[in-house]
Amino acid sequence: MHRREFLQNSLAVGSAAMSWMVLAPMGARAAERDLVEVTLEARPYRYPAASGARFTGLAYNGRVPGPLLRVRYGQTFRARYLNRTGGASTIHWHGMILPNDMDGVPYVTQPPVPDGGEFTYTFKPDPPGFRWYHSHVGDQEALGLFGAFLVEDPRDPHADVEAVLVLHDVPDMRSFREALAGKSTATMNRPPGLNFNGMHALPAAHAMGAMGAMGGMGDRSHRGAMARSMTSMPMGDELSYLSHCVSGEAYPHTRPILVKVGQTVRLRILNASPTLTHYVRLAGHRLRVTHSDGNPMPRAVTVDALRIGVAERYDAWFEVTRPGAWLLTSLMGDTRDHRQSILIRTPDAANRVPEVPAPSLEGAQLFTYRLAGVGTPLPPDAHDPYGWANVRKTLLLGGGKPGHRHWTIDGTIWPHTPKIDVRHGDRVLIHFKNPTDMDHPMHLHGHVFELVEQSGLRLHYPLPKDTTLVPAGGTSTWRFLADSPPGRWVLHCHDVIHMMDGMMTEVDYVPA
């Protein structure tokens, strides 16, 4: 294929090239086609100045994030993947239920595509909603090989303005290599809420007690993050970052989203960071969250701020009720830092100084699984209160001791981790115990599961997801019906260092 043809193809993908962030309505012709075809070419890529990083990574079709892929539910999608990365590569279609041999896990679902080679992925994107795609080989995703994928749902309510926001952080690859060896000197990025109440200056035990008393923070999931951040001691496995971006740019270079008074705005927010949980707040507005990982939640919830773990997505809505200019910001440890922001404004507010969000999460109502799912206490170990499952598996997460390079499941690393065998039609319950000092964004391929339990709380409105933060010092329970296409579906931590260090297993369909 010639270069020009290839460019035309990429332009044809749901008008993505014209409107990377703010979506134009899908063209009638694009919507009517049975087949949407795209060429994705991965190559080395020099990050532009607007990204805030001087860095050579990798990109799909010459941009980070890669092109926004967009289909209507029911269309067939075909991607011709040209690998020019200099190494082996694959593409994983995150959140999709698809034939196992299209899932893009090297040596598990396909041989890796060699450098200079190509591979064609074909499937009917399912279920509808906000998905994404990324390399599943080594550090390639961290270098820039990722993008958003929208499967438009005909049942969706109308939004006047729709935008896709990809949060990502550009790693310092020297710290990446050191982290894999357990020798990184980087320290944990502090969750906001610490700096402005000064608790980071207190001994850890006091501060954690005080945190526990804070409204909206009682998900216990901060404990481990705090245990690490309190000490500022390098744990050996943290990354340091060169820049923090929204859709490939750092504020003030991020392109504003223009809105009008009276409009309803839908933001689809993806955390594509290699390791960082993000806390997102929009100045002057609360956010109504309707979808978790692209899937409609049983009950929408309105919050002051979002917590988005690595690989998670949320659909967040708000109404424009007055003229103005507001920053949407991922709060950093240094709360004067608004690099990871975009401006949302009305047309008449071009010269206004934008309102910035409250810099701390203290007192904020934060999106947590407990809040969204309405959690109430369970008796200890009663994590299948429904008596629903016929296959139950407990996975013990481990590792992360200073200087140790492995993150484990049941004390073992991939490929020696215990596998979960299921038969078609099984009702499966997976219970995670996480005694480590970090939250782990655990992800299952090829399924949408329900999060039914979190740290001893039963969720009365289970959240439909493909990735959840299993909290430090806590537990999570997923349930799902094993009715995906047969094959080997990997289950792993989406923190890239933890995954490469071995925190991965698989759900295997075996003959009935």
Give the interface with Cu ion as residue ranges (CB under 5 A).
Answer: 440, 493, 495, 498
Burial bucket for residue 272 (CB in 10 Å: 0-12, 13-18, 19+): buried
- Both structure tokens of 3: 């270069």
Closer of 281 and 498 to Cu ion (Cβ): 498
Closer of 254 and 408 to Cu ion (Cβ): 408
Among candidates 279, 246, 216, 293, which has minimal Cα distance to 464?
Answer: 293
Report, in Å, the least distance between residue 122 CB and Cu ion. Answer: 32
Which secondary structure element, helix H or strand E, spans residue 470, and what is its range? strand 467-470
Closer of 420 and 422 to Cu ion (Cβ): 420
CA trace torsion 52, 83, 294, 266 (10° rounding): 40
| CA gap 148, 65 in Å, rounded | 8
Which secondary structure element, helix H or strand E, spans residue 491, and what is its range? strand 488-493
Report, in Å, the least distance between residue 443 CB and Cu ion. Answer: 10
Closer of 14 and 471 to Cu ion (Cβ): 471
Closer of 224 and 248 to Cu ion (Cβ): 224
Closer of 338 and 440 to Cu ion (Cβ): 440
Burial bucket for residue 264 (CB in 10 Å: 0-12, 13-18, 19+): middle
Report, in Å, the least distance between residue 495 CB and Cu ion. Answer: 4
Report, in Å, the least distance between residue 432 CB and Cu ion. Answer: 11
Backbone angles phi, psi at 71, to 5 degrees: -135, 165
Report, in Å, the least distance between residue 166 CB and Cu ion. Answer: 21
Report, in Å, the least distance between residue 29 CB and Cu ion. Answer: 44
Residue at 5: amino acid letter = E
Report, in Å, the least distance between residue 493 CB and Cu ion. Answer: 3
Report, in Å, the least distance between residue 311 CB and Cu ion. Answer: 11
| CA gap 206, 470 in Å, rounded | 24
| CA gap 73, 70 in Å, rounded | 10
Please give the order of strands across the beta sheet that includes 264-271. 241-246, 161-171, 264-271, 313-319, 287-292, 295-303
To the nearest 10 degrees (0 to 180), the angle between helices 204-212 and 222-231 is: 150
Report, in Å, the least distance between residue 156 CB and Cu ion. Answer: 32
| CA gap 57, 48 in Å, rounded | 11
Closer of 267 and 493 to Cu ion (Cβ): 493
| CA gap 53, 125 in Å, rounded | 34
All residues at 6 or more sequence positions from 206 whose CB lies less than 8 Å from its CB, including other chains: 199
Backbone angles phi, psi at 442, to 5 degrees: -80, 135
Query: Are 443 and 431 in contact, with CB atoms under 8 Å apart?
Result: no
Closer of 179 and 327 to Cu ion (Cβ): 179
Report, in Å, the least distance between residue 474 CB and Cu ion. Answer: 14
Report, in Å, the least distance between residue 492 CB and Cu ion. Answer: 9
Closer of 219 and 495 to Cu ion (Cβ): 495
Report, in Å, the least distance between residue 276 CB and Cu ion. Answer: 12
All residues at 6 or more sequence positions from 375 whose CB lies less than 8 Å from its CB, including other chains: 369, 454, 457, 458, 459, 460
Closer of 70 and 440 to Cu ion (Cβ): 440
Closer of 265 and 413 to Cu ion (Cβ): 413
- Both structure tokens of 385: 């209160």
- Both structure tokens of 178: 């050191």
Among candidates 418, 403, 414, 421, which has minimal Cα distance to 487?
Answer: 421
Query: Are 307 and 367 in contact, with CB atoms under 8 Å apart?
Result: yes
Query: Are 12 and 80 in contact, with CB atoms under 8 Å apart?
Result: no
Closer of 345 and 406 to Cu ion (Cβ): 406
